[in-house]
Structure 1
Amino acid sequence: MNKISYTLSAVALALVLSGCSQPNAQEGQQQPPPLTIDVAQVKMAPVQSWHTFTTRLQAPERVVLKPRVSGQVEQMTFKEGERIEKGQTLFRLDPRPFEVQVETLDAQLVSADAALMQAKSEARRAKQLVAEKAMSTELAEQRAATLRQAQANRDAIAAQLKKARLDLEFSQVEAPISGVISRAIVTKGNYVSAGETTLATIVSDQQIYAYFDVDERTWSDKFAGVDATDAVTVQLQRINGGASVPGVVDFIDNEINPNTGTLGVRAVFDAQQHGLKPGAFARISLGSADAATMPLVPERAIGTDLKNRFVLTVDANNTLQYRLVELGERYGAFRAIKSGLEAGDKVAANGPARVGPGMPITPNMVTLNLDDTRLVIAQRDTQLSAAN
């Protein structure tokens, strides 16, 4: 009897323990809460397709300054690296040899004028005597020839005097253009040779050019109807980054280079306003068409699946879905989407790094800020720059 009672008590105890442990087991099998991730709504904005080219900036005018006459440098009248104006005196050569030459030719011209006056008088007298038959025709012709010789001699000396005065004027070397001058390559006391010795270099600083080559296929596909008079807008990006500089295309070559298969194009920029220097490396972005509205997502939201590109969209049940997309141009931290997304779609802003298709999530909505991202070339800013 006692044995049976012990058995029943053990069974009852087991049932009680089983009933107590069941809720705890169910609690252990509950799913964790959905992962919280950043979710952003697709941003619709007008964008342009850009083509980028590398180049070196060039000054519209660059002068290698050389003297027109030979002589010894007496004075340097500018500060190296400063801005100079057209016509400003930069170097002075010793003027004394040129002054002596001018004085000598002045005296010779006075003598030639006297000889010419005498020859004219004798020619007139000979003409009268021939008419009176008091002089032979042969002698009169000799006096006429002497007159012509005196006139030619006087003209030659006058021409030499004109050149000597020019040489005296050229002993002061003036700036042929306005711009910024380099260091002086030749300084005071040195002898310089006409047309040979380099004194300094001057580059214009109002505007600056960027020459670049566009391949034939790109030009035919994207810019076939473009003319230099259209003032097509461009953006210049410096090597150190920073804000883009607006400009316009002002020259398109008249033929495609058969050796390279490219067309030469030139853009012009305001050099002073933006501190652009000749010789600097730059990237030129050329917009190929008018702006078109496209969806934009963060670049990090895009995943790679073999050859495909995809994003993870969020459906009405807050579940991630796989969506194939066709990529457009990149604009800073954002990417335009040609196809696969529409206005109102929501995407996982940080991409598929920690999540995957079919996962339920808790969305943390974030806003895409495009204020500091250039999506189109600023037409108005560029036109104002060109007008200036």
Structure 2
Amino acid sequence: MNKHLIAVALAAASLTLVACTEEQVKETSKQQLQVIDVAEVLVKPVQNWHTYTTRIESPEQVALMPRVSGVIEHIAFNEGDNVKQGDLLFKLDERPFLAVVASLEAQIVSAKATLKQAKNEADRALRLTVSKAISAEQAESRTSTLRQREAQVSALQAQLKTAQLDLEFSSVRSPINGVISRANITKGNNVRAGQSILTSIVSDKAMYAYFDVDERTWNSAFENVTAASKQQVIMQKVGQTDFAYQGYINFIDNQINPATGTLRVRAIFNEENNKLRAGSFARIRLASNAITKQVIVPDRAIGTDLKNRFILIVDENNKLQYKLVTVGERYGNLRTITSGLQQGDIIAVNGPARVGPGMPITPNSVTIDSKNVAFTLSPIDNINLIAKQ
């Protein structure tokens, strides 16, 4: 009897121990599930951005050459300075030009004296012709001489104007406002008119950026854009992280380039701080006018599987599932998903860094932060946010 009681007691104890062990295993399994940040995808109205490379150009740039030949006597600027239109830059030896002017002035005085004498003789001949004291042929000869003397004076006066211009051109002045480069030819050297490049000047108050938009993109996104509409653009210089410069389109070419299938477009940037330099490499971004609703996710949520992009979504059993997606435009730390996700989907916001498809998780709900991200260019103040992305 006692033996049977002992056996029953042992069996009951064994069942109790097994049940406790199973409960502990289940509890331990729950505790081992990884806690993962998850969030519902955002759906926002967005504008697509298009990026192009360019070289900054100055609207006005001059390779300064002298209009007359001569020897440089003086350089009147500091290399790299800002200069204004009309500022004296180079002074050539003006003595040869002064001598020519003085010679022509003397010749004009002499020619005017000769002209006066010819006029007097012509007038006298006219009076004598009335009284028939001289022949008509003699009177006509004196009138012809008068016309020759008048032409001689006019020719000398024209030569004098040319010589005075040459004298004026011996002072080489800036034709535009801008920043001057170094002097290519220094004091004491001979320069030739229209051939010797003394220096270069580029205007600095505004800069141009030309870029080529392919025909398909222009027709689909910018067909209604004109130069008068001043389509907003932003620009980033090489080595910078922000698109810190704001401008607008002020020129659209009148035809598509048939060789490349692109349209030449120009943006202008007004820059008072002189931080834009002609010849600099830069990137231009402009937003399409069409606004569409797109799914938005953190860029870090997107994984790469060979050539594919994917996102881990959370199903109703709190398991992660592989979802193939197509990514679109980037906005700061966020990116649009053009296919593969829909409104209401829950995703692993930190991506597949520590987890994988089919893994059960303990979800920790968070919210995707988009308060400092601009998805459209309207209102125009949003451009300041976009420039920082």
CA deviation string 1:37-85 (max 9, x = no partner): 1223433433211221111110001000011111111111111101110
Is the contact made by 2:204 and 2:274 (CA closer than 8 Å) also made in structure 1?
A: no
Q: What whole-Å deviation, never above 9, does each CA across 1:81-109 have from its counterpart, x for those lacking one?
A: 01110111111111111111111111111
Q: Where do residues 259-338 of structure 1 align in structure 2 (5 Å cutoff)?
A: 259-273=259-273, 275-304=275-304, 309-314=309-314, 318-338=318-338
Aligned to 2:25: 29
What does 1:55-70 align with in structure 2 at a 5 Å threshold?
55-70=54-69
**Most deviating of 328-337 and 353-362:** 353-362
Match of 2:376 in 1: 376
Which AA in structure 1 matches 2:296? L
Q: CA deviation at 1:317?
A: 6.0
Contact 2:205/2:274 (<8 A) preserved: no
Number of corresponding residues: 380
Point out 4+ residue stretches in structure 1 off by more than 6 angstroms.
Answer: 7-10
Deviation at 1:355, TM superposition (A): 2.8
Q: Does residue 1:224 correspond to 2:223, yes or no?
A: yes
Identity level (%): 51
The one-character-per-residue Cα deviations of 1:279-316 (angstroms, maximum 9, x if unpaired) are: 01111112222433433111221245677644333456
The structural deviation recorded for 1:129 is: 1.0
Q: Which residue of 1 aligns with 2:126?
A: 127
Q: Report the more deviating stretch, 286-295 or 337-346.
A: 337-346
Give the aligned residue type for 1:256: I
Instruction: State the shift of 1:258 in Å.
Output: 1.8
Structure 1 pair 150–193 and aligned structure 2 pair: CA distance change class (3 A)? same
Counterpart position of 1:145: 144
Pairwise CA distance, 1:24: 5.8
Moved more, 201-210 or 240-249: 240-249
Contact 2:377 2:383 in 1 (8 A): no
- What is the aligned-residue RMSD (CA, Å)? 2.9
Q: Distance in 2 between matches of 1:326 and 1:262?
A: 27
TM-score by length of structure 2 reads 0.87
Aligned to 2:242: 243
C-alpha separation between the residues in 2 aligned to 1:43 and 1:158? 82
Distance 2:338 2:78 in 1: 57
TM-score normalised to structure 1 length: 0.88
Q: In 2, Cα distance between the equivalents of 1:140 and 1:109? A: 26
Q: Per-residue CA shift, 1:339-360, capped at 9, x if unaligned?
A: 4545554321112333345544
2:103 aligned residue: 104
Larger mean CA deviation between 294-303 and 86-95 belongs to: 294-303
**More moved, 72-81 vs 371-380:** 371-380
Tell me, what secondary structure is at the counterpart of 1:289?
strand
**8 Å Cα contact 2:221-2:290 kept in structure 1:** no
1:217 deviates by: 2.1
* 2:14 matches 1:18: yes
Change (3 A) 1:332 1:108: same
Partners of 1:271 and 1:277 within 8 A in 2: no
CA deviation after TM superposition for structure 1 residue 366, in Å: 3.8
CA 1:274 to 1:49, structure 2 compared with 1: closer, same or farther past 3 Å?
farther
Instruction: Write the distance in 2 (CA, Å) between the matches of 1:92 and 1:370.
Output: 62
